[in-house]
């Protein structure tokens, strides 16, 4: 029969299998623009019916037979002509790809997704689609069998159509930084939501000693109060499953974090509310910090910001305040010598003995960028040490039995020990 590309291909497919308007239109989805596949399929069916009718009128017996045999696969659009020609109504068959479920699926899923989005305070979303494997393969085999090069997948159509309908209710599709993914399964109609974490950029201070950064469980309860525990204060205003603190490095449990505070990215998993004033959040976190841990929350961030915080500590500069005791008395000249010798000096450190049980024994080299000391008594000095992130300060002072070199102990030829250590400044060098 003499038909065009679209009508010819469409008729060939429908002579084999029944297709609903949507599933037929989808096989030609990339032809024409700004229409739904339902509109495409309907238009194609009308045209195929008209072509068959034209051929039938030109006395083609073949066309009459094709019309009669294919009517059940075409569907209700052929009803009036069929009745006119054959005086009866054909029995229609269900769509071979979607089982006749797709139209209803697309209408019924958004009303299920919208309350979910609202319950998690989500405005920016994307749609994720799971397709039953049989459906996916059936569609593929039709496209391959008939060499249909202009189609799209049922997955793409569902994603777009569901997304469009949800957007009509004031939500925005966002492919780069969605607040949640609406997960829909075809044909079951199941709808689920994956809520993205909420990220908050800020800084923390540890005002006392014996406070750890991470939660430190033990059989008798937490070993120390922790920055992480303080951050749980955010769960009250935000809801959510848990909080993760991504910090740029960490100080020892017995070191305070003073001065500029330490940059931190706080991740709240599966929050129930996302639009709470930072000040209100800060207040809750600080209340949970009990005056021992303090936060300043600066702005909301994104997942990709993690790399700035988790990256190699070498990319940062730290300033420490160390109180140092020396075994025998030292002179102002000794102090001056220390400042001179260590300024800009590259320090070689084998992993300190105190952390060897949990870290590999490796040699690291970090630079002391500056040193400035005040002598308090004949054997006590207080030093401000500016260094590349990752330098172990207690060992820089003690020498760790020769594992760190040079060290205060080595340069003074007298045992030096860090009695108190505070971090007073942390700068993260962003790429
Ligand atoms: Zn269908």
What confidence score (pLDDT) does residue 3 get?
A: 79
The band of 304, judged by pLDDT with boundaries at 50, 70 and 90, is: confident
What span, in angstroms and rounded, lies between the C-alpha atoms of 349 and 392?
8
Q: What is the pLDDT of residues 15-62, one digit of tens each?
A: 999 999 999 999 999 999 999 999 999 999 999 999 999 999 998 899
Question: Is 198-310 a domain of CATH 3.30.450.90?
Answer: no
- Fold for 314-428, please state it: Alpha-Beta Plaits (3.30.70)
Q: What is the pLDDT of residues 221-276, one digit of tens each?
A: 889 999 999 999 999 999 999 999 999 888 899 999 999 999 999 999 999 999 99
Residue 237 CA to ligand 1 centre (angstroms):
46
What confidence score (pLDDT) does residue 306 get?
A: 87
Residue 85 CA to ligand 1 centre (angstroms):
27
Residues of the chain with CATH 3.30.2130.30: 102-195
pTM for the model stands at: 0.80
Residue 25 CA to ligand 1 centre (angstroms):
9
Q: What is the mean pLDDT of residues 192-203?
A: 96
What span, in angstroms and rounded, lies between the C-alpha atoms of 285 and 105?
44
**pLDDT surpasses 70 at 430:** no
Alpha-helix residue ranges (DSSP H) falling in 311-401:
332-342, 393-398
What confidence score (pLDDT) does residue 312 get?
A: 55
Strand partners, 131: 186
Residue 39 CA to ligand 1 centre (angstroms):
13
Residue 100 CA to ligand 1 centre (angstroms):
5
Residues of the chain with CATH 3.30.70.2510: 198-310
Question: Which of the residues are catalytic?
Answer: 252
Residues of the chain with CATH 3.30.70.3190: 314-428
Kindly state the percentage of the chain with pLDDT values over 90: 89
For 102-195, CATH number out of 3.40.50.720, 3.30.2130.30, 1.20.120.1200, 3.40.50.150 equals 3.30.2130.30
Residue 139 CA to ligand 1 centre (angstroms):
10
What backbone phi and psi angles, to 5 degrees, belong to 183? -100, 120
Q: Are 404 and 349 a contacting pair, CB within 8 Å?
A: yes
Q: What is the mean pLDDT of residues 177-193?
A: 96
What confidence score (pLDDT) does residue 59 get?
A: 82
Q: What is the mean pLDDT of residues 213-217?
A: 91
Residue 137 CA to ligand 1 centre (angstroms):
14
Q: Which residues contact 77 (CB under 8 A, 6 or more apart)?
A: 42, 45, 46, 49
Q: Which residues contact 274 (CB under 8 A, 6 or more apart)?
A: 120, 121, 122, 123, 179, 198, 238
**pLDDT surpasses 50 at 431:** no
The band of 313, judged by pLDDT with boundaries at 50, 70 and 90, is: low
Q: Are 47 and 30 a contacting pair, CB within 8 Å?
A: no
What confidence score (pLDDT) does residue 429 get?
A: 65
Structure tokens at 160: 């777009």
Q: How far is CA 406 from the centre of its chain?
A: 43
Structure tokens at 175: 């492919």
Q: What is the pLDDT of residues 314-367, one digit of tens each?
A: 578 899 999 999 999 999 999 999 999 999 999 999 999 999 998 999 999 999
3-state secondary structure of 356: coil
Give a three-class secondary structure readout of 205-223.
EECCCCEECCCCCCCCCCC
Q: What is the mean pLDDT of the chain?
A: 94
Q: Which residues surround ligand 1, an ion (CB under 5 A)?
A: 20, 23, 95, 97-98, 102
Residue 96 CA to ligand 1 centre (angstroms):
7
User: Can you list the pairs that 367-375 forms with residues at least 24 positions away whose Cβ atoms lie under 8 Å?
Assistant: 367/391, 368/342, 368/343, 368/344, 368/396, 369/317, 369/344, 370/343, 370/344, 371/338, 371/339, 371/342, 371/343, 372/339, 373/335, 373/338, 373/339, 375/330, 375/332, 375/335
């Amino acid at each position: 029969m003499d038909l065009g590309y679209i009508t010819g291909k469409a008729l060939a497919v429908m002579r084999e299998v029944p297709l609903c308007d949507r599933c037929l239109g989808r096989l030609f989805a990339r032809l024409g623009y700004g229409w739904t596949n339902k509109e495409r399929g309907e238009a194609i069916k009308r045209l195929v019916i008209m072509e068959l009718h034209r051929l039938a009128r030109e006395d083609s017996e073949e066309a009459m037979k094709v019309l009669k045999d294919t009517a059940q696969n075409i569907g209700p659009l052929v009803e009036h002509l069929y009745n006119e020609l054959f005086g009866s109504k054909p029995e229609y068959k269900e769509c071979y790809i979607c089982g006749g479920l797709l139209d209803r699926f697309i209408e019924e899923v958004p009303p299920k997704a919208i309350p979910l989005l609202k319950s998690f305070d989500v405005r920016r979303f994307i749609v994720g689609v799971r397709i039953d494997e049989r459906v996916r393969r059936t569609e593929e085999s039709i496209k391959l069998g008939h060499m249909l090069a202009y189609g799209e997948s049922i997955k793409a159509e569902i994603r777009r159509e569901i997304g469009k309908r949800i957007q009509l209710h004031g939500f925005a599709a966002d492919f780069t930084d969605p607040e949640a993914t609406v997960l829909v399964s075809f044909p079951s109609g199941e709808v689920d939501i994956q809520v993205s974490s909420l990220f908050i950029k800020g800084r923390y201070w540890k005002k006392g000693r014996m406070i750890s950064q991470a939660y430190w469980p033990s059989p008798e309860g937490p070993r120390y109060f922790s920055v992480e525990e303080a951050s749980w204060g955010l769960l009250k205003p935000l809801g959510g499953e848990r909080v993760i603190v991504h910090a740029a490095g960490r100080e020892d449990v017995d070191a305070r974090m003073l001065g500029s505070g330490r940059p931190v990215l706080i991740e709240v998993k599966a929050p129930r509310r996302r639009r709470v004033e930072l000040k209100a959040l800060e207040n809750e976190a600080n209340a949970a910090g009990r005056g021992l841990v303090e936060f300043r929350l600066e702005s909301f961030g994104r997942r990709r910001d993690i790399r700035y915080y988790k990256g190699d500590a070498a990319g940062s500069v730290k300033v420490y305040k160390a109180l140092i005791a020396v075994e025998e008395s030292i002179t102002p000249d000794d102090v001056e010598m220390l400042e001179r010798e260590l300024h800009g000096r590259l320090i070689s450190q084998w992993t300190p003995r105190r952390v060897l049980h949990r870290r590999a024994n490796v040699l690291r080299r970090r630079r002391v960028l500056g040193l400035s000391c005040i002598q308090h008594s004949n054997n006590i000095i207080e030093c401000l040490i500016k260094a590349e992130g990752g330098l172990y300060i207690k060992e820089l002072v003690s020498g760790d039995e020769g594992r760190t070199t040079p060290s205060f102990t080595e340069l003074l030829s007298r045992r030096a020990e860090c009695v108190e250590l505070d971090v007073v400044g942390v700068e993260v060098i962003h790429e």
